Amino acid sequence: MRGANSQVRLEANVEIYTFDADEIRSYDDYKKLTKDELEGHLHFKGKNLVVNTGLNFIKDLLTAATTGSITHNGVGSSSTAVVADDTDLITAIGSRLAITNRYSGGTGIGKFDTFYASTDNNGTWRETIMATASTGANAFARKVITDFTKATTNTAVAAWTLTGTGV
């Protein structure tokens, strides 16, 4: 049994997978890949910061001050370091995309995958966010990533994992 001083911890991670557009054309194609096949397409993996707007969103959900969920993913070209006060991408590339699939990864784990087709958000990606709406200052988490040039010749998946634990 956890003691009276137990705390809850939330960890956010993002993985960026890249593919040849002729081989992986859709999210369904991506989902058919085995874990071993995915490893060869992993471009970036790292922990990111749940920013203050994300923490306030959780607080508002817990106190019934709001409803909703994490619904969109965005990418941008800025390599400016992440800080807790970030509310959006620094320099967006295209519009945020609706998250393709949100699902449970087990106890305390939420997964959020966004598929980028060959025509989506082309440019040099250096940052990504997950957000609670398609526009506005409502980033839940932000991460600076290793440069990736998204073009019509490739597709990509931004795969976020949120893990909540009691400590």
What pLDDT score was predicted for residue 3?
A: 55
Task: Give exposure, 134-153, as e/b (b: 16+ Cβ within 10 Å).
Answer: eeeebbbbbbbbeebebeee
Length of the chain counted residue by residue:
167
Q: Where are the domains of the chain?
A: 11-166
What is the mean pLDDT of the segment spanning 127-145? 96
Residues 6+ apart with CB under 8 A from 164: 8, 9, 10, 11, 108, 109
The average pLDDT across 81-97 equals 97
Residue 142 dihedral angles phi and psi, to the nearest 5°? -140, 145
Query: Is the dihedral angle over the CA atoms 71, 16, 154, 147 positive or is it negative?
Result: positive
- Give the per-residue pLDDT at 1: 47
pLDDT band at 4 (very low <50, low <70, confident <90, very high): low
Q: What's the pLDDT score for residue 159? A: 98
The answer to whether residue 158 scores a pLDDT higher than 70 is: yes
pTM exceeds 0.95 for this model:
no
Write down the residue that tokens 């081989």 correspond to.
Answer: 23
Q: Does the pLDDT of residue 166 top 90, yes or no?
A: no
